[in-house]
Amino acid sequence: MACFFNPTTVKNKNSKQTRNKIPWPTKDAMQQVYEKNLWGSGESDFYSGEGSHKLEIVVPYIRAIKAFLRSFDKPISMCDLGCGDFNVGKELVKYTENYIAVDIVPELIERNKEKFKASNLEFQTLDIANNKLPTSECAMLRQVLQHLSNDEVKRVAEKLDNYTYVIITEHLPKGNFQPNINIISGQGTRLKKHSGISLLAPPFNLRVKEEKVLLSLEDEHGIIVTTLYRFK
């Protein structure tokens, strides 16, 4: 569940004006992000934010993931959990055997189905916290968990050991920080609380066979870190 501020103010017992937090399902929160361009707007109708479009962020990421995918003798299958506007994913499809891209926003998935077509590409509307995840050898979650509450991150994390490889990209604060401070799911991230996701730390305590940082990019807000986890 996500919480958004209800713009209508209500009077409390002492007749003081106060803002009321109304819980929203994460799907509604993410739909609102796209409808109101809360991650900015580009030339496209749906816009997943600077992290999905700025060349200095996207190009090194694609290079790193392409190198990982090409390190196998035979192409592997991928699922892209929280694929967004697919500006990044579209560059990776050709290096995979099969690519399943999912997102919680149905209108975005319908638009992606129209816009991006390949014989090995499939789109699905799915809530990764609450639905069964697609099967594949590798899963990628690029700047998705950073927008979710700890409760939802935990529900996703519990399913990740079904994959051999998981590639996670998260926006983290520079320097030392307390990981996994809880947030309400939605547009924002833990950066505003000087925190970021670490799946190996409590309360997630993910156990992995191997962990390798593939890419670290500094920007004005923090560091965007891409980590490869091996589970099998």
Ligand X SMILES: C[S@@+](CC[C@H](N)C(=O)[O-])C[C@H]1O[C@@H](n2cnc3c(N)ncnc32)[C@H](O)[C@@H]1O
DSSP for 146-178, written as a single string: GGS-HHHHHHHHTTGGGSSEEEEEEEE-SSS--
Q: Map the footprint of ligand X across residues 101-120, applying CB under 6 A.
A: 102-105
CA distance linking residue 222 with residue 143, whole number of Å: 13
Distances (CA, A) of 217 to 15, 54, 112, 142, 182: 49, 12, 27, 14, 24
Kindly tell me which residue out of 28, 91, 107, 127 binds ligand X, with binding defined by CB under 6 A. 127
Kindly tell me which residue out of 88, 153, 199, 206 binds ligand X, with binding defined by CB under 6 A. 88
CA distance linking residue 172 with residue 214, whole number of Å: 15
Closest separation in Å from C-beta 141 to ligand X: 7
Q: Does 98 bind ligand X (CB under 6 A)?
A: no
Kindly tell me which residue out of 30, 109, 121, 166 binds ligand X, with binding defined by CB under 6 A. 30
CA distance linking residue 132 with residue 176, whole number of Å: 35
Q: Does 183 bind ligand X (CB under 6 A)?
A: no
Closest separation in Å from C-beta 103 to ligand X: 5
Nearer to ligand X, 61 or 77 (CB): 61
Closest separation in Å from C-beta 58 to ligand X: 8
Q: Map the footprint of ligand X across residues 137-156, applying CB under 6 A.
A: 142-144, 147-148
Residue type at position 76: I
The tokens 């409390």 sit on which residue?
12
CA distance linking residue 42 with residue 39, whole number of Å: 10
Closest separation in Å from C-beta 1 to ligand X: 11
Q: Does 91 bind ligand X (CB under 6 A)?
A: no
Residue type at position 89: G
Closest separation in Å from C-beta 154 to ligand X: 12
CA distance linking residue 174 with residue 194, whole number of Å: 9
Closest separation in Å from C-beta 211 to ligand X: 20
Nearer to ligand X, 111 or 147 (CB): 147
Which residues of the shown chain bind ligand X in the complex (CB under 6 A)?
A: 26, 30, 48-49, 52, 82-84, 87-88, 102-105, 126-129, 142-144, 147-148
